[in-house]
Amino acid sequence: MDRLGFQVFASVRKTSDADALTKIAPRVTPLLFDVVDEQSVSAAAETTAAAVGTKGLTGLVNNAGVGTFGPVEGIPLAEWRRQMEINVIGQVAVIQAFLPLLRKARGRIVNIGSIGGLTTIPFGGALCASKHAVEAINDALRMELRQWGIAVSLVAPGSIHTNAADRMVANGEAMMKQMRPDRLSLYEQAFRHMLVTMSKDEAHGSPPEVVAKVVARALTAVRPKTRYPAGRRSVFLAVMASILPTRVFDSIKLKQMA
Tens-digit pLDDT profile for residues 167-214 = 888 999 999 999 999 999 999 999 999 998 888 888 888 999 999 999
Interaxial angle between packed helices 181-203 and 246-257, expressed in degrees from 0 to 180 and rounded to the nearest 10: 90
Sign of CA dihedral 95, 227, 113, 184: positive
Sheet bearing 59-62, strands edge to edge: 59-62, 108-112, 151-157, 227-230
Interaxial angle between packed helices 234-243 and 246-257, expressed in degrees from 0 to 180 and rounded to the nearest 10: 140
Averaged pLDDT for residues 129-151: 97
- pLDDT (tens digit, 9 = 90+) per residue, 141-168? 999 999 999 999 999 999 988 887 778 8
Please determine, looking at this structure, whether the domain spanning 57-257 carries the CATH number 3.40.50.720: yes
- pLDDT (tens digit, 9 = 90+) per residue, 219-257? 999 999 999 999 988 999 999 999 999 999 999 988 876
β-partners of residue 12 are 32
Q: What is the pLDDT of residue 203?
A: 84
Q: Kind of pairing, strands 151-157 and 59-62? A: unpaired
Domain boundaries, the chain: 57-257
The letter for the amino acid at 46 is E
State the Cα–Cα distance between residues 183 and 242, nearest whole angstrom.
33
